[in-house]
Amino acid sequence: MVKGKAPHRHHYVPRMVQRNFVNEDGGLYFWRREFAVGEVRSTTPANLFVEDNLYSMVDGAGVRDAEIEVGFSRLESVAAPFIDKLLRVVRHGMIPILDEGSWDFWHHYNYYAQKRVSAWHERFLTQDDLFMVMKSIATKEQWAEHERMWAENREEALRVMRNSRIAAQVDPPPEDLLAELHTRGLVIYVAPSRTSFILGDDVGASAQISTDRVNFMPIACDMAVGYSADKKSVRVERLTASGVRRMNEAMTKKSYLIAGRSRAQIASLSRISYEAPDILQGWQGRRQETA
């Protein structure tokens, strides 16, 4: 258990990823939805995509445990050289070759990168949504106990709910999901010169590129990664400027916070409205399919 002076500033988009997007001054231009349109500011990776105690569990005495954050840091220490090597190989005009261990690592890293974001804690799943999910999966006795605690000690009930939600961040990928991912390959999308990808506070997005709908996660200002239907193969796809723009717009639509290396680019994207993903509808659909 990591307690005491454990780290309390938890980056849900790791700094090792943010550094791949910095401008010549080593900073990032950013915009939040509470800002006026076009009100772009600048800061460093240390101060972006970060929240206090985002992954800290709290016991009944109020003591915080940052073990989950430390675990994510260990994952990032392995991911940083992995991503750096991927970027170097592609920038030299070559196709990366991944061994079995590399494929398995990427599937896990990608899973946790998209699951651990702040949006999943506070935005995509509200308190009322969480109640709905809990009630649908709890036994009568479990739900009765929760209602009793909610009536008698709401603060304790909220602590238990928050801890449960944080603990879910480190649940491993389901075996059926891993099996499906192992049938896929990777597509590395490369931005043309004088264009760049942005970061959003939900790190992955989906965009229509030509006749295809692609899912992607930016890993550097000039590269994003997605899955393909070609088993354990790696393909490099060079985009047009309009393709990069569509991907950045898709990222902006689902983000409260965006950041990148160009002030003008972030100002332009700040005009795009937010479109909330309906994740509960998808969850309910999966429940009905398996009922």
Q: Shortest CA distance to 82 belongs to which of 64, 101, 55?
A: 101
Residue 3's alpha-carbon distances to 106, 158, 253, in angstroms, are 30, 21, 38
Kindly tell me the sign of the dihedral angle through the C-alpha atoms of 16, 21, 25, 27: negative
On whether residue 272 sits in a domain, the answer given is yes
The pair of three-digit structure tokens given for residue 157, joined into one six-digit string: 């009930």
pLDDT of residue 7: 80
Q: Shortest CA distance to 16 belongs to which of 97, 79, 66, 106?
A: 79
On whether residue 2 sits in a domain, the answer given is no
Cβ atoms of 90 and 223 within 8 Å: the answer is yes
- d(CA 243, CA 246) in angstroms, rounded, equals 5
Can you give the residue range of the structural domain that contains 123?
9-144+167-290
Q: Please write the tens of the pLDDT for every residue from 106-160.
A: 999 999 998 888 766 666 556 666 666 666 666 777 767 767 777 777 888 788 8
On whether residue 154 sits in a domain, the answer given is no
On whether residue 156 sits in a domain, the answer given is no
CA 137 to chain centre: 26
The pair of three-digit structure tokens given for residue 11, joined into one six-digit string: 């980056």
Number of domains in the chain: 1
On whether residue 4 sits in a domain, the answer given is no
Q: What is the DSSP letter of 184?
A: -
- d(CA 109, CA 76) in angstroms, rounded, equals 8
On whether residue 55 sits in a domain, the answer given is yes
pLDDT of residue 155: 83
Q: Please write the tens of the pLDDT for every residue from 70-89.
A: 999 999 999 999 999 999 99
Q: Please write the tens of the pLDDT for every residue from 169-191.
A: 888 999 999 999 999 999 999 99
- d(CA 232, CA 242) in angstroms, rounded, equals 29
On whether residue 150 sits in a domain, the answer given is no
- d(CA 223, CA 189) in angstroms, rounded, equals 6
pTM recorded for the entire structure: 0.85
On whether residue 162 sits in a domain, the answer given is no
Q: Say which amino acid occupies 268.
A: S
Determine which of 36-40, 68-72, 118-122, 212-216 has the lowest per-residue pLDDT on average: 118-122
- d(CA 241, CA 223) in angstroms, rounded, equals 13
Q: Which residue has the higher pLDDT, 144 or 15?
A: 15
Rg (CA), the chain: 20
